[in-house]
Chains A and B, each alone.
Chain A
Amino acid sequence: MNTRTLLPTTLNPTLRRLAEQAITKAQATIPIPLQIKGAHLFLKAKQRALKQAPVRPPVETPLPPVEQLALTEIDVSNPFLFRQGLWQSYFKRLRDEAPVHYQPNSPFGPYWSVTRYDDILAVDKNHAVFSAEPFIVMGDPPEGLGVEMFIAMDPPRHDAQRKAVQDVVAPKNLQDMEALIRSRVRDVLDSLPEDQPFDWVPTVSIELTARMLATLLDFPYEQRHKLVYWSDLAAGSAEATGGTADTDETFIGVADMASHFTRLWHDKAARRAAGEKPGFDLISLMQGNDDTKDLVKRPMEFLGNLALLIVGGNDTTRNSMSAGVLALNRYPEEMAKLRADPGLIPNMVSEIIRWQTPLAYMRRMATCDTMLGGQFIRKGDKVMMWYASGNRDERKFANPDAFLIDRDNARQHMSFGYGVHRCMGNRLAELQLKILWEELLPRFSTIEVLGEPERVQSNLVRGYASMMVRVKRAK
């Protein structure tokens, strides 16, 4: 458990230190899955005692057009905004009329929205004033599941933990991975059914990202779909993002994830102790680094960082893989450009990531009173940096809603974030998308999207649950 949230804030420093030591010791000796189960039971008992209703996923109702709302009524935390196709108009109104906007009444508590490119960049860079702690999602995760991950830590703790794992996706390591990624892409594409409808999302996007994750973690390959399931649970909590995973399901999933990863960790540690050469996977890298070699004894950080790495490599790339197909169907003249000049693929990959913005935002907390865009932000206020809006800011991108594969500043998209938390898997993501399109183009003469894709319910993940497609092979 997160020791800081368990203990009363009034505790004097000495007692607090002793209490933290005791909790840390307990965490290190009680098996992690049991701790998660314990937290789950504790939460249920507390809810019963206090007659609190457990949080249930939100129910969808049609949202009004933004013109019918007063500025003070605009609440972009609604997890159905993307699905109902309203997000562009809502964010455009905020960018034009209230670029730093306060919403005091949302299901996720009061929050500021920062919606212009330059303002978002300024917040993202300033980690001293805008802290990534304790969470980067809009709402707080279920009590007892407050796992700690370095994306939600400030320097210097962030830097040490990130450094331990970033080499696995560093450009140097990617050269070795390229051939493997390409052969898997070929496998998947060669087995696609011809001239009959199939769902692109599980067949291509999920399958390819699951294979990649299993490799990065050296996770049992035949169980790779568990990684996808856990990642979806972690990102899909109703409390945190307005998603569909309910608290009970999340606890059960996290306990299962904890037991799998703990076993994997101890198995690798035992093999290393027996003299086996360590692999170049995330867990082996953590075990080989002084800052993280005992991470398994700090369960909430252990689970948090693994969850971060699977979520980071899952929803993002998956939904960009689907988005490229969708965008090229919506903009057939761009497909013609691409066929005429496949050399545009790298720039198109950046444009796909800009156009889709698979993660809508990151959250920050003000560490002191500050001014931003003429607004007075108080210490402790929640500040949402809406990357999805910054990527459509007409002050930065001409004709921002259009998908243009030769857009000259596509690389300046903010989907990877800026500053010390900038996405460390960015080059791997680009590589996966580049290879996918290099293999798709010569293989298929048409890739046709049938009907509207089904969009995910979330205020964070901008993704596709299902997208029916029909392909014809090139002769």
Chain B
Amino acid sequence: MATITFIQHDGTSRDIPLTEGTSLMQLARDNRVPGIDGDCGGACACGTCHVIIDREWLAAVGPRNAEEKQMLELTPDVQPGSRLACQIQTTGALDGLRVHLPEHQM
């Protein structure tokens, strides 16, 4: 079974079955992964689905888009692997993806 692993800031992790054709934010929300708020419902307008992608996976998920860049600018603790989960579409190619959650959402 294809899975995505969400790693909380305290190190605990959970494997979530990968559903294709949704966003990483929605997948996390549907599976009640704590630490992802998604207050704007996926419009790239609130910055509360901040995640940090493992370096070896950055190429597979693709670069930040312009709107996302702007929102991440305002996010505390932004890191090189920082993305907004609502802007990452889930595909079979992301089987095994490791996603780290920040300590807080903005």
Contacts and interface: CB of A to CB of B under 8 A. Distances in A.
A162 B74 contact: yes
Contacts of A412: 39-41
A271 B43 CA distance: 45
A428 B67 CA distance: 25
B70 interface: yes
A170 B39 CA distance: 17
A225 to B, nearest CB: 31
Contacts of B71: 419-420
A411 interface: yes
A76 B40 CA distance: 26
Interface residues of B, number: 20
Contacts of B10: none
Interface stretch (B11-19, B44-52, B85-93): B44-52
Given A159-B73, A420-B71, A172 B103 contact: yes
B49 to A, nearest CB: 12
A170 B76 contact: yes
A172 B103 CA distance: 8
B74 A418 contact: no
A167 interface: yes
B74 A427 contact: no
Nearest to A420: B70
Nearest to B77: A172
A171 B74 contact: no
A125 B106 contact: no
A159 B40 contact: no
A167 B76 contact: yes
Q: Taking chain A's interface residues, is the majority helix, strand, or loop, or is none over half, making it mixed?
A: helix
Contacts of B47: 422
Contacts of A54: none
Interface string A422-443: 1010110000000000000000
Choose among A167, A419, A420, A426 the residue with the greatest number of B CB atoms under 10 Å from its CB. A419
B46 A422 contact: yes
A28 interface: no
Interface in B21-64: 37, 39-41, 43-47
B55 to A, nearest CB: 24
A431 B77 CA distance: 20
Contact of B45 (A155, A159, A163, A419): A419
Given A159-B74, A422-B46, A422-B74, A171 B104 contact: yes
A70 B44 CA distance: 37
Contacts of B104: 170-172, 427
A125 B74 contact: no
Given A172-B76, A411-B37, A418 B43 contact: yes
Given A171-B104, A171-B106, A166 B43 contact: no
Given A171-B104, A172-B104, A427-B104, A121 B76 contact: no
Nearest to A167: B76
Contact of B74 (A121, A124, A166): A166
Choose among B37, B45, B105 the residue with the greatest number of A CB atoms under 10 Å from its CB. B45
A121 B106 contact: no
A157 to B, nearest CB: 13
B72 to A, nearest CB: 11
A410 to B, nearest CB: 10
A100 B43 CA distance: 20
B106 A411 contact: no
Contacts of A163: 73-74
Contacts of B44: 125
B20 to A, nearest CB: 25
Interface of A: 121, 124-125, 155, 159, 162-163, 166-167, 170-172, 411-412, 416, 418-420, 422, 424, 426-427
15 contacts: A121-B40, A125-B43, A125-B45, A159-B74, A163-B73, A167-B76, A170-B76, A171-B104, A172-B77, A419-B45, A419-B71, A420-B71, A422-B45, A422-B47, A422-B74
Given A170-B106, A172-B104, A422-B74, 18 more contacts: A121-B43, A125-B44, A125-B45, A155-B70, A159-B73, A159-B74, A171-B105, A172-B76, A172-B77, A411-B39, A416-B46, A420-B70, A420-B71, A420-B73, A420-B74, A422-B47, A422-B106, A427-B104
Interface of B: 37, 39-41, 43-47, 67, 70-71, 73-74, 76-77, 103-106
5 closest A-B pairs by CB: A171-B104, A418-B45, A170-B76, A125-B45, A411-B39
